[in-house]
Amino acid sequence: MKNRTLFAHAALLLFAQIAAGHAYATGSDGAVSGSVTDSSGKPVANASVALQDASGASVGATSTDASGHFSVHHVAPGAYAVVVAAPGYASGSSIATANDGADASVSVALSKSDALDVQVNAKRLDRARNGLLPETGSSVYRFSQADIDTLPAGQNTPLNQVLLQAPGVASDSYGQLHVRGEHANLQYRINGIIIPEPISGFGQSLDTRIIDQLNLLTGALPAQYGYRTAGIVDIHTKNGDQGNGGSIDVFGGSHQTIKTSADVFGSKGPFSYYFSGSLGENNLGIENPTSSASPIHDHTRQGDAFGLMSYIINPLTRVSLMFGTTSNQFEIPNTPGLPTSFTLNGNTAFDSSKLNETQSELNQFAVVALQGTNGGALDYQVALFTRYSRTQFNPDPVGDLLFNGVAASDFHSDTANGVQADTTYRLNDKHTLRAGISFQQEHAVFNNNVSVFPADVNGNQTSDQPFNVPDSSSKTGYLYSAYIQDEWKLTDKLTINYGLRYDKMDEYVSASQLSPRVGLVYALTPSTTIHAGYSRYFTPPAFELVSGEDIARFAGTTAQSSSTRNDPVQPERSHYFDLGITQRLTSTITVGVDAYYKKSTNLLDEGQFGTALIFTPFNYKYGRDYGVEFTGNYKQGNVSAYVNVAYSRAQGKDINSAQFNFSADELAFVSNHYVFLDHDQRVTASFGGAYQLGRTTFTFDGIVGSGLRSGFANTDRLPVYTQVNLGVIHHFNFNEPLIGKFDARLLLINAFNRVYELRDGSGIGVGAPQYGPHLAMYAGITKNF
């Protein structure tokens, strides 16, 4: 099997090379000639002219004559970069395509400033990189940097809360998101490169500040996208290609919140850079488990940094280095007045408000990417990536034993390394071929120390003297994938994207799948667009969360399970159908409707089991998700608004893995009934808008939910909730040189103080109650330079 996999990878790489070589097919030699002028149109004499192929190698050189003309002879057919340099001028370039027996002619204009040269080359490469990521047949919701800045909290809005403003995205505790009725299953890409997912925690792994453009892709995705398919969070970062500058931001307010952020960007010749970082702390790191305005024991310290450096090797090639790190420290909030359930050394008394549980999280990643184009038919990007993620839960060694009978110190870490290669080849005006491969190796470590009491077969404590049970393991796993697809423009109005994707996993289980994908976009009228698609999906469980835990070692203790079954977690396999229409009603109003249906085998879900707030995957043997989304946008002059409403159903039947986490009665009920998933929410809505009056912008956003599931086997649901946030932003402009321009904002979170319960601690895989925020006030100042 491994040899066949390697052969398939090699065949795809050979395909990409053959496609690239098509532009250099043999034929009669020709010539590339042209003229070089300055910005005013005057000829530039004695300018050096070099002809480079797609790899950057020189295939010919000459210089311009007194009238600015040049000619390079004996040139094989193909696409070339014409690179021109002259003293006192920035280098210039153009793309020339020499055909069989025919000469190519180009004109190159040189500028006195090198900034324009770098910007032109960078934009060319950006367009080539964007061309690697098709969207045909899927639903796309876009956020620009200006859209994010206009939100009440601006760039201090956590990334998950930005995504909540997209259709079909529901909120959950601990910052989780559910897109179209699925648990997490989100893939994050930065500048086209997959960032391996970290161990789930409370903090956000990516800072909104780094975003220049954010796209959320859902629905029937093209073959390019795999593994995590509920939504693709496609981030295009800020960079230094447009000049030099930066900003400093100070943000703070309720719950002793203070956060300081800064970024800096710029370029020097072909080198550009962007760096960002923030540090902050507050007393509301995790949702409050009670309805009080001030949570107990909920302090958090969080920091992050991001960097992007790129170097344009030649007008057709760029190399980039990207890295990021996030470090978060959380206190776990307490619920006062809870009774103890166990006895320790003859003692049963403990004040639950004094519990001292904490959790630390560290996520780091780095990427080196080579990206380029031949200026015509071929674009490519090859990236090497690495990621390290670590989570440490520290229990209260006395309190956890008295309340839970278990005090578990849980350490999880995961290291991922891999390669991703994507290519685009424009065969002709009708067909654009895309192909790629990826490989990822992960190594997960679980090092847990569990204190428990002896117990009888019914779980009753038989001694008040605890003892330790070591629970450590490690595992290495592998993911392989390859895809090929064709974007076929049948007519000016109709485009079809069809392809195949192959995925293989070799982790706790070994499995693979060949998945067909097809999507179409049809411009019915200039104002009406229809899209439809079908995708076969293969979704492995989150490797960093699955463990090879030996439940037998906890038999006869207060940590024993009522069930001894622990079948391995399987990958989810599903069929996904999507149909949508977008209608531009007027020049200012656009609306859209999208319907979807997903049928799954071994549907994946995650739950919180035990005291550590770390999620564990499990399967339902059968699953189904379906729903419909409505979206509307309005933009005219200084007024903008949007509204999204989604209806969805998410159900599963028969839990067939990790059964020891569930009670016997739950397992028996779910084995014979379709039950709603714990994160199922019938109606989800988001809305917002802004009004600009001179230098002042008034803004608002909000979310509405019909309530997540609760009760035995998720047979009940929580009440309807709503949250509205208000903000005002003013752009100051002082004549004092030391002050100059800066922005100030004031915002209210949950402005109408509609306190709501997001979770009540019941339901399948739900371990603790969670409440939404109370009314809170924050302010911030941003200085750009």
- Summarised one tens digit per residue, pLDDT across range 491-523 is 999 999 999 999 999 999 999 999 999 999 999
Q: Which two tokens stand for residue 568?
A: 């391995």
Beta strands in 427-466 (DSSP E): 431-452
- Please give the pLDDT value at position 391: 92
Considering Cα of 150, then 152, then 156, then 157, what sign does the dihedral take?
negative
> CA-CA distance, 532 to 244, in Å (whole number)?
43
What mean pLDDT is predicted for residues 742-749? Answer: 96
Q: Which residue has the tokens 């093209």?
A: 222
Task: Name residue 638's amino acid.
Answer: N
- Please state, rounded to an integer, the average pLDDT across all residues of the chain: 89
> CA-CA distance, 538 to 568, in Å (whole number)?
17
Query: 275-334 pLDDT, tens per residue?
Result: 999 999 999 999 999 999 999 999 999 999 999 999 999 888 999 999 999 999 999 999
Three-class SS state of 762: coil
Confidence of residue 7 (pLDDT cuts 50, 70, 90): very low
- Please give the pLDDT value at position 315: 87
Chain centroid offset of residue 249 CA: 24
Chain centroid offset of residue 284 CA: 24
Other Cβ atoms closer than 10 A to 780:
22
Mark out the alpha helices in 156-266 (DSSP H runs): 159-163
N residues, the chain: 785
> CA-CA distance, 588 to 586, in Å (whole number)?
5
Q: Which two tokens stand for residue 612?
A: 């550590």
Other Cβ atoms closer than 10 A to 734:
10
H or E element that contains 499? strand 494-506
Query: 439-464 pLDDT, tens per residue?
Result: 999 999 989 889 999 999 888 999 99
Instruction: Tell me the pairing of strands 69-75 and 30-38.
Output: antiparallel
- Please give the pLDDT value at position 25: 38
> CA-CA distance, 114 to 94, in Å (whole number)?
15
- Please give the pLDDT value at position 120: 66
Confidence of residue 773 (pLDDT cuts 50, 70, 90): very high
Q: Specify burial of residue 733 (Cβ count, 10 A radius: 0-12, 13-18, 19+).
A: exposed
Task: Name residue 178's amino acid.
Answer: H
Strand partners, 487: 432, 497
Strand partners, 139: 218
| Of 5-9, 79-83, 143-147, 468-472, the least confident | 5-9
Residues in Cβ contact with 127 at an 8 Å cutoff, skipping those fewer than 6 apart: none
Q: Indicate if the pLDDT at residue 26 is higher than 60.
A: no
Strand partners, 769: 760
Confidence of residue 8 (pLDDT cuts 50, 70, 90): very low
Other Cβ atoms closer than 10 A to 101:
10
Confidence of residue 95 (pLDDT cuts 50, 70, 90): confident
Q: Indicate if the pLDDT at residue 200 is higher than 70.
A: no
> CA-CA distance, 294 to 282, in Å (whole number)?
12
Q: What single-letter DSSP state applies at residue 615?
A: E
Residues in Cβ contact with 597 at an 8 Å cutoff, skipping those fewer than 6 apart: 576, 577, 624, 625, 626
Please answer whether residues 10 and 18 qualify as being in contact, where contact means their C-beta atoms are separated by less than 8 angstroms: no
- Please give the pLDDT value at position 119: 65
Q: Which two tokens stand for residue 335?
A: 């619920």
Q: What is the DSSP string of 643-711?
A: EEEEEEEEEEEEE-SSGGGS-HHHHHHHHHS-EE-TT--SEEEEEEEEEEETTEEEEEEEEEE---EES
Distances (CA, A) of 293 to 3, 283, 296, 335, 754: 60, 11, 10, 13, 12
Among residues 449, 451, 453, 442, which one has the least CA distance to residue 472? 449
What mean pLDDT is predicted for residues 103-107? Answer: 87
Among residues 683, 681, 679, which one has the least CA distance to residue 766? 679
> CA-CA distance, 144 to 211, in Å (whole number)?
8
Q: Indicate if the pLDDT at residue 133 is higher than 60.
A: yes
Q: Specify burial of residue 67 (Cβ count, 10 A radius: 0-12, 13-18, 19+).
A: exposed
H or E element that contains 128? helix 114-130
Instruction: Tell me the pairing of strands 696-705 and 709-710.
Output: unpaired
- Please give the pLDDT value at position 660: 85
Query: 556-614 pLDDT, tens per residue?
Result: 999 888 777 889 999 999 999 999 999 999 999 999 999 999 999 999 998 877 655 56
Domain annotation for the chain: domains and CATH numbers = 2-112 (2.60.40.10), 138-784 (2.40.170.20)
Q: Indicate if the pLDDT at residue 131 is higher than 90.
A: no
- Please give the pLDDT value at position 421: 97
Query: 346-385 pLDDT, tens per residue?
Result: 999 999 999 999 999 999 999 999 999 887 789 999 999 9
- Please give the pLDDT value at position 15: 36
Confidence of residue 685 (pLDDT cuts 50, 70, 90): very high
> CA-CA distance, 161 to 152, in Å (whole number)?
11
Buried/exposed code over 615-653 (b: 16+ C-beta within 10 A; e: otherwise): bbbbbbbbbbbbbbbbbbbbeeeeebbbbbbbbbbbbbb
What mean pLDDT is predicted for residues 400-424? Answer: 94
Please answer whether residues 629 and 685 qualify as being in contact, where contact means their C-beta atoms are separated by less than 8 angstroms: no
Q: Indicate if the pLDDT at residue 137 is higher than 80.
A: no
Among residues 67, 70, 71, which one has the least CA distance to residue 41? 67
Q: How far apart are the first and last CA of the chain?
A: 57
What mean pLDDT is predicted for residues 136-150? Answer: 90
